[in-house]
Amino acid sequence: MKNLKKRLFCLSHSVESVLKALPAKSQSFPNPSSSMPSNTAAWLTGERAILLEVKSSPYTSPKDNEIVVKSGAVAINPVDWAIQAAGSRVPAFSFVKYPCVLGTDIAGEVVEVGKQVFRFTVGDRVVGCGGGALRNKPSEGTFQTYVVIQDYLVSPIPDTMAYEDAAVLPLALTTAASGLFGSDSLALVYPSISPKPTGKTIVIWGGSTSVGSNAIQLAVASGYEVISTSSPKNFDYVKNLGATHVFDYNTSTVVSDIVEVLKGADFAGAYAIGSVLSVGNGTAAAEACLEIVDKTDGEKFVAMAMYFAGNLPNGVGAKFVPPISSEVGKVIFEDFLPQALAEGKYVTAPAPMVVGKGLESIQEAFKIQQKGVSAKKVVVSL
């Protein structure tokens, strides 16, 4: 009997060890192979197609480090309608393959997770940054019902937060973070819930833009003093985000005024953020920041959220902000944003301007944004 008990114990221990060694199953719909959800997308069917076409799209299950989100709301970014309007006429969009599904900003509910995803479960409310046409994977464009997203670009959101509010964040947040924290950009200290002052100052040009609204908050959460610009009507908005000084970018003395404030400061560089609707696609912002950096002691570098083909002052570096790296993405979406949102230490800004409901409203949303909005983000509910 003693030997039998010993054998049974060894057998049970072996089975337990085998079970623990088995890979985790992905959480998904019951029997997804036989009962796939019906998916619909707003397709850009060809280069410079006049209208998006809302029609069926394959449902795609996630890979190991991906999740699938059912869209609750999406936001519009200039890159979306710019690809539709310009196509390969703009070299930056020559890589896009058609047909494609545009869109990068999404908030919604998790419906399936990959085998190596442990932060999320089915039913979680999240905000995330999809690939849109930038990765040439239609399944990752957010202008559809079910969207595949890489897990390092997803954050849970509070139960009290509306999807429309959360949807304003993703692309602007990732662009801001890449410029501020990327190793090839400004390489600032990472943000935290309780930041320690660094004693350094940064200039963020375009504080009321979507990217600027996030860049200011991230820089403040990293312990930096922020000097920014906007139109006078948005001064209070930019200061409420954390900027200590805000200047009117339209004045003839704005550069000299900022240089004067920076005298004696430990300068950490500048982030140039211009409007896609402004002359030269925002290059005036780049030129102003280059002049400020050139005339100021400290870090001689400008992160640029626009392509700039002009000449750089001697000794001044500049670089177009690349897509967010997995390292920075993890810091933002996993280590910082969930707690910051939950504790109200990070606000979803700019505020959403909800212009319609359903995928059919996205084309009209393009037109609204093309006309220009100030300190707002165009959003469509789904």
Whether the Cβ atoms of residue 110 and residue 67 lie closer than 8 Å to each other: yes
**What is the share, in percent, of the chain residues with pLDDT greater than 90?**
83
Q: Is 33 inside a domain boundary?
A: no
pLDDT tens, residue by residue, 118-153 = 999 999 999 999 998 888 999 999 999 999 999 999
Amino acid at 96: V
Q: What does the alpha-carbon distance between residue 149 and residue 62 come to, in Å, rounded to a whole number?
A: 8
Q: Is the pLDDT of residue 276 over 70?
A: no
pLDDT beyond 90 at 91: no
Whole-angstrom distance between the N-terminal and C-terminal Cα of the chain?
65
Q: Is 3 exposed, middle or buried (0-12, 13-18, 19+ CB in 10 A)?
A: exposed
Question: Where in the sequence is the domain holding 165, given as residue range(s)?
Answer: 39-169+348-381
From the number of C-beta atoms within 10 Å of its C-beta (0-12, 13-18, 19+), residue 123 rates as: exposed
**Rounded to whole angstroms, how far apart are CA atoms 176 and 78?**
15
pLDDT tens sequence across 319-371:
999 999 999 999 999 999 999 999 999 999 999 999 999 999 999 999 999 99
Find out whether 135 and 350 touch, Cβ atoms under 8 Å: no
Of 303, 320, 337, which residue is a domain's last? 320
Domain boundary among 320, 336, 357: 320
Q: What mean pLDDT value characterizes the chain? A: 90
Cβ–Cβ < 8 Å for 328, 312 = no
Global pTM reads: 0.90
Indicate which CATH number applies to the domain containing 155.
Answer: 3.90.180.10
Q: What is the dihedral of CA 187, 193, 197, 200, to 10 degrees?
A: 30
Task: Count how many domains the chain has.
Answer: 2
